[in-house]
C-alpha cells in the first residue's frame, strides 16, 4: 500500500515538473523559486568552503560532520 502511495507521489511530482515546462510558475511563485535557489546555493557554497578548509588527513567527526552535511 505504501509502495503504491509512494509511486503515486513520485508520478504527481514528475507531472508537476513536466507541466511547468509548458505553463511556468506565476510571478508570485517565481519569487519563492528564486529565493530557494539562492539559499540552496549559499548552503552548498558554505558546506564546500568548510570542507575545503580542513586538511585532507583530518576527518570531520561527530557534531562537525553532522552540521556540515545536514543541509
Residue 60 near residue 54, CB atoms below 8 Å: yes
Q: How confident is the model at residue 46 (pLDDT cuts 50, 70, 90)?
A: confident
User: Which helix or strand (DSSP H or E) is residue 12 part of?
Assistant: helix 2-22
Residue extents of the structural domains in the chain:
2-68
Instruction: Measure the CA–CA gap between 56 and 59, rounded to whole angstroms.
Output: 7
Residue 64 has pLDDT above 70, yes or no: no
15 versus 30: which is more confidently predicted? 15
Amino acid at each position: 500500500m505504501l509502495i503504491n502511495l509512494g509511486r503515486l507521489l513520485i508520478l504527481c511530482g514528475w507531472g508537476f515538473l513536466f507541466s511547468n515546462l509548458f505553463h511556468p510558475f506565476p510571478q508570485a511563485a517565481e519569487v519563492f523559486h528564486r529565493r530557494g535557489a539562492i539559499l540552496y546555493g549559499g548552503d552548498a557554497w558554505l558546506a564546500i568552503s568548510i570542507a575545503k578548509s580542513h586538511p585532507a588527513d583530518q576527518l570531520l567527526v561527530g557534531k562537525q560532520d553532522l552540521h556540515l552535511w545536514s543541509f
